[in-house]
Structure 1
Amino acid sequence: MEEKTVESKVVFTGRIITVKVDQVLLKNDRTSFREVVLHPGAVAVLPIFENGDVVLVKQFRYPVGEVLIEVPAGKLDQGEDPKECALRELREETGIRADKVHYVGFIYTSPGFSNEKIHLYIAEQLSQSEQELDFDEIVETMRLPLKDAFKMCVEGKITDAKTIALLSIAFLKRS
């Protein structure tokens, strides 16, 4: 089932992504083209307080033209450990510091055209401080019970895939 790369050409290099077009040899000996978005990877982290409350963030997402409700998340810097990135993003976006962080797996966001992998974490033993937002981040936090956040997924009020995945994992682990 694997495809072999015959030729690869980078057609765009940006600040976050690179786009390439590959010619591939299929198992039936025909060739085809694949457009691929290369991404450095990311993390998503769900902070859960002792009483079962979670903190989500609301922010405008330019590519979809909407304000989305999401778990704190961010891009991995080159060579950065995903766990350290999760702790950093949690602190920057919410002001929350976590003494305990559990890795629960990873997801591919859109494997039909991108290699982006998001590492998923649950953070516990939390303490609150101040947000440390980047200059171009406008983020509002919201705290609510995990069951209410999961219900928002079911009702279509949360549409972000990484958030649905992480809330579902957390809800099922606690049920």
Structure 2
Amino acid sequence: MFFGRAIAAAAACGLIGTAAAGWAETHMKEEHNIETFDPTSFFSLHDSDGSQTWTKQDVLNLYGLLHSMDPTGERKTPIDEDTRERVVSRIMGLIDEDGDGVISLDEWRNFNARGGELPDFGLGPGHHGDVEYEYEIHHWLKYHAEDDSDESLTHPEDIEHEKLFHSIEDKAYVDQANNIPAKFRVQA
């Protein structure tokens, strides 16, 4: 792949960090539509609270594990707590040099300077968003115009998304109704 060779050459010249190939590069392309890999930018992009560290939550978010179900529908089985813990433990073990439970920017840079690469756990590219966001970036923006009508939504992904959206909407309606105290409900 030409892109991979170009990144490796740029890394060898010291223009960018060395951990360009692999899961992180795929993540940047598929989840952020960014064709280049820069370790510092990658770190900052995934530091969700701006603390200059990656916490357990940041690692889970990076790998798309904050949702028990994959918002794109690609992964059909829920992610259990053991899997989440295994991912966080492995990432912390690879990068957290001082064992304080967070990854600093310096630790991340050191990891990259050593040629470290984020492992692919086989859990997908790390979907960060909710169902709507993931549908929009992975399907709508690729196959539809901004002003497409509902009648033009005929792809299988469109139909599946509509079913999922309506089931979520229906559940929210039921949950909302159940959240009304009995004394305020209309009695039949």
TM-score scaled to structure 1, two decimals?
0.22
Question: Would you tell me which structure has more strand in proportion to its own residues?
Answer: 1
TM-score scaled to structure 2, two decimals?
0.21
Larger-gyration structure (1/2): 2
